[in-house]
Amino acid sequence: MKGGRLRRAWPYLLALGPGLLAASAGNDAGGIATYASAGATYGYGLLWAMVLVTLFVGVVQEMSARMGAVTGKGFSDLVRESFSLRVTALILLTLFIANAGIIVSEFIGIAAAAELFGVSRYFAVPVAAVFVWLLVTRGTYARVEKIFLTLTLAFLAYIGAAFLAHPDWHAVFRETVLPHPRLLDVGYLNLLIALIGTTISPYMQLYVQSSVVEKGVTPEEYRYTRFDVIIGTVSAGLVAMFIIIATAATLHKHGILQVDTAERAALALEPIAGPFAKALFGLGLLGASLLAAGVLPLSTTYVMSEAFGFERGVSRTWSEAPIFMGLFTGLVLLGAVLALIPGLPLIKVLVGVYVLNGLLLPIELFAMLRLVNDKELMGEHVNGPLYNLLAWGIAIIVSLLSLLLIGQTVLGWFGVGT
């Protein structure tokens, strides 16, 4: 009996990978800054949003993975083949801007981590940029990324810190199931959209779909990949919620309502790490930022090169793939240079990047819905009526929140509502 159960469970365990990594990727430098800011500024008041956003992530990731399994093609390939030139250009430009912003945020994360250890950003960022560029272009990044991934496990300490900080669990439950949204508060709305932007980042969908294609997942095997997506989404959502709980129970409770430095974000780990909180947070931040600083420019370069039919591959020389190599180098350079701007408020920029991500997200979502409901592409694997209702609802909610924030911001320029 036990042996039979194990044999049935084994394919599901083997499928774990793309979905788990893609969902967990949201817990990078910008993600941690956003969750910590939410907990410090509004206490437990945004926990309800994380429940909904986790559901949103699961739906969007599942659609991406399903498109990869059914069509055997990446997102940019499908966009190029299914939309007009102008619409394709708009979608790809949106993806490029969103990804470029996150690349900058990863180098900002490296700068913040370095400064926690007393190392100047003007030394650490250029060294990190050269280091990442050499690792990727020399083909050794796949081995080193396991080390970076291990360092990011430091953020799991937020779960222990949340319990040791003795939060008001009654308030946690109440704010999770009986929320009091403050949608007319621009700061609240900013963080709400940033939470969406950091968890439903375009690069995560690109990654999971490309990974499913690369693994050669077929529609018959797709149920195992769906399990991977669900597990990844739930685990990443729980970590994010515990970061909010930990920062609410430590920073917000003691009147620290702004997370504007990495040191303040690290304070929430004091219940579990004590005097080593800063070092623990710094290691996690460094690992997450270095990991994404290599993966993001590379995946963005692949997408753009694939979409326009340019020669691509890190094993190519400059003469064989000049556009690919030049774009990858340019993205790494852009991220490093912008992270070195004097006086840059690191944590505010990290959150701001994901607000921008959330504002651009509707374009990708509507394109995805158009593709996943195309019977010529997906056959019998198009969204069902109820699933479609949920998916369209997500796209419309994100769009309305984006429009609301834009409207609030424009009114603020004229002194209305301030």
What string of pLDDT tens digits covers the 418 residues of the chain?
Answer: 455 554 555 454 454 555 455 555 556 778 888 899 999 999 999 999 999 999 998 999 899 999 999 999 888 889 988 999 899 989 888 888 888 888 888 899 899 889 889 999 999 999 999 988 888 787 665 666 666 667 667 777 888 888 998 999 999 999 999 988 888 888 899 899 988 888 887 777 777 787 788 778 888 888 888 888 888 888 888 888 999 999 999 999 888 877 877 788 888 888 888 888 888 888 888 887 887 787 788 778 877 887 777 776 666 778 888 888 899 899 999 999 999 988 877 778 888 888 888 888 899 999 999 999 999 999 999 999 999 999 999 999 989 988 888 888 777 766 665 4
pLDDT at 201: 79
Q: Are 141 and 299 in contact (CB under 8 A)?
A: no
DSSP secondary structure code for residue 167 in this structure: -
Q: Are 15 and 228 in contact (CB under 8 A)?
A: yes
User: In 3-state terms, what secondary structure has residue 315?
Assistant: coil
Collect all residues with Cβ–Cβ distance below 8 Å to 239 and sequence separation of at least 6: 24, 27, 155, 156, 158, 159
C-alpha 225/C-alpha 62 separation (Å) is 9
C-alpha 405/C-alpha 183 separation (Å) is 9
Domains located in the chain, CATH noted: 16-412 (1.20.1740.10)
Q: Tokens 């609030």 map to which residue?
A: 408
Distances (CA, A) of 271 to 44, 69, 97: 18, 44, 38
E-assigned strand segments in 8-167:
none
C-alpha 234/C-alpha 238 separation (Å) is 6
DSSP secondary structure code for residue 320 in this structure: T
User: In 3-state terms, what secondary structure has residue 185?
Assistant: coil
Buried/exposed 181-213: b ≥16 CB within 10 Å, e otherwise: eeeeebebbbbbbbbbbbbbbbbbbbbbbbbbb
Q: How many helices (H) and strands (E) does the chain have?
A: 20, 0
C-alpha 308/C-alpha 30 separation (Å) is 29
Q: How far apart are the two ends of the chain, measured CA to CA in Å?
A: 66
pTM listed for this prediction? 0.84
